Structure 1
Amino acid sequence: MSQRQADLLNGLKKANAYTHSTYRITVIETHISWILLTGKIAYKIKKPVKFGHVLDFSNLRLRKKFCQKEFMLNKQLCGRMYLGVVKITKIDNTYKLVNLDKMGTSLEFAVKMREIPQKFRMDNLLVFNKINNRILNGLIGKLVRFHNLAYTNITISKHGSPQAMKAKIRENFRTLSRFAKIDSSFEDKLNLFVKNNYKLFDERRKRFRVRDIHGDLYLKNIFFMKGKFYLYDRIEFNDSLRYGDIAEDVAHLAMDIHYHKRERMQSYFISHYINKSNDTSLINIIYFMMCYKACVRAKVSLFRAGQLVNRNQKSKYTKEAKEHFKLARKYMKMF
């Protein structure tokens, strides 16, 4: 983190940076963003990073563009949770989060959201055994409705082709190779499945299974509060990662449920999604997609580990990557 970034974050930890009252200001850091929780409102600031050919937040113009895109994309699945985009400026030597039309030089931009308490995040609910079949059925219903209504066209459909899938696999392992030496059997097995299943990929395209999906659907990106689901943090930074087979969303979430040691719940989720959606060929591609998604999450964990200096924090993310590779290896035997 640069000194400029450290100064900015320190400034935003003070209550006078906000135009509303704050309860307790907490900063959550991911590999590509900082999230400021204030008790009522949350703000998401994009890090000035470039992630291979996948993501580019390297300048202020791009960060503003993708803040605005994130706001627009997430309204569909989150309703009023997303409130808009604000800018960070300095007034009387104090950092301030203000509306875009206010005076002052834009030093940074942030997505403004209604804050939902972290205890309602689905990975936290799962830890405390607060997810039952009734809640899972509600989530499946919301996901099926979203997938049925998600936009598609000829351009989007091409992202579900065997060639596009191979390109996703290649990019993932090319980036992974920057962080660690990876067993080539993962990439080889995934590519072999694609090679042997052109007909399956083409059939799913013809049945309009390739759409503008969520793209990053796992437990941490879902809130459940007062009977409502908020499937937030939809991918905004790369359309080609959001355009894909709906199986990618289902597989990502199923894999993450398994990662949290809930195999029976994972099986329930997959079978009931298939029944609800009538997507009978999903079972033929799901374990391939789960293997691929486990490798994607391993990449994200290794990327985060590479950003950290603290040995314990670094070890946490390295362990996460190993656990995801372990899952990927298990799925390799199932397709």
Structure 2
Amino acid sequence: MVQTHVSVVFLVEDDVYKLKKPVDLEFLDYSTLSRRRHFCQLEVELNRRLAPDVYFGTLPVVQVDEQVRVGRELDEGGDLEVIDWVVHMRRLPDAARLGARVAAGEADAALMQRLGATIAGFHARARRGPAVSAWATFAAVAGNCRQNFVQLAGLGVVTEQLLTRVERATEEALARGHAAIDGARAGTCRATPTATCGSSTCTGSPSARGRTTWW
């Protein structure tokens, strides 16, 4: 079992079941059963775009006598009350994680180039338009970054000293990137092209042109 601030993840042999916690943290609201079901379905829909063979779907959680059970077979359970929902995934080997591959010396330039090409292609095909661009303004990006610190301060999961250091670094990065963020949203990125940016033909961050993934 793996705990995050918003989920509990159960690793069971070849399967993974992700249960969303009933929390409301402003940037997400899982406080009701209907909301948790909605966001489980949305997670599957969105993440299948990059990992179609990993995300199987959503499953109901029901209580049968003194047991809590999960599974598709429970859909025909008659009057069984659904008490929650989970995202059902295929379990991937720990050794396949990028961090593990880096540690093992397996993350060579060719692998990173394939990974970069996949991510760039994903963003190039992503939905765009005014409704999407509204989330890529500097005010929206900075607001999301700053909200992290408001939420973290109330959770007590990191020391105040560390939180202050990271907050200061974030503000410095936002100040340096202000023009680039605004330019990327407009498709007129003024950042100097680098290996990190992509190429000399870069006209803006693919994430800002398609969907916002700054945080």
Please, what TM-score do these two structures have when normalized by structure 1? 0.52
Match of 1:112 among 88, 104, 116: 88
Q: Return the offset for 1:185.
A: 3.7
Flag the 1:154–1:80 CA change in 2: closer, same or farther, 3 A: same
Q: Return the offset for 1:147.
A: 1.2
- Dislocated runs of 4+, deviation >4 Å: none
Q: Return the offset for 1:106.
A: 0.7
Q: Return the offset for 1:273.
A: 5.9
Partner of 1:161: 137
Please, what TM-score do these two structures have when normalized by structure 2? 0.77
Partner of 1:61: 34
Q: Does 1:205 align with 2:128?
A: no
Q: Return the offset for 1:101.
A: 2.9
Match of 1:192 among 152, 158, 175: 175
Flag the 1:204–1:102 CA change in 2: closer, same or farther, 3 A: same
Q: Return the offset for 1:169.
A: 3.2
- SS of residue in 2 equivalent to 1:56: coil
Match of 1:271 among 167, 172, 195: 195
Flag the 1:35–1:58 CA change in 2: closer, same or farther, 3 A: same
Structure 1 gap segments, 5+ residues each: 1-26, 210-269, 283-291, 294-335
Match of 1:129 among 87, 105, 113: 105
Deviation string, structure 1 residues 254-276 (Cα, Å, up to 9, x no partner): xxxxxxxxxxxxxxxx726603x
Partner of 1:102: 76
**Equivalent pairs: percent with the same residue?**
24
Q: Return the offset for 1:204.
A: 1.6
Q: Return the offset for 1:187.
A: 5.3
- Greater fraction of residues in helix: 1
Deviation string, structure 1 residues 72-94 (Cα, Å, up to 9, x no partner): 11110001211110011122432
CA contact (8 A) 1:50 1:58 kept: yes
Q: What is the count of residue pairs matched by the alignment?
A: 194
Q: Distance in 2 between matches of 1:46 and 1:67?
A: 8
Q: Does 1:93 align with 2:66?
A: yes
Q: How does 1:297-308 map to 2 (within 5 A)?
A: none
Flag the 1:128–1:59 CA change in 2: closer, same or farther, 3 A: same
- SS of residue in 2 equivalent to 1:96: strand
Q: Does 1:148 align with 2:124?
A: yes
Structure 2 gap segments, 5+ residues each: 206-213
Partner of 2:6: 32
Flag the 1:207–1:192 CA change in 2: closer, same or farther, 3 A: closer
CA contact (8 A) 1:140 1:272 kept: no
Stretch deviating more after TM superposition (28-37 or 104-113): 28-37
Partner of 1:47: 21
Q: Return the offset for 1:278.
A: 3.9
Flag the 1:132–1:154 CA change in 2: closer, same or farther, 3 A: same
Deviation string, structure 1 residues 290-322 (Cα, Å, up to 9, x no partner): xx86xxxxxxxxxxxxxxxxxxxxxxxxxxxxx
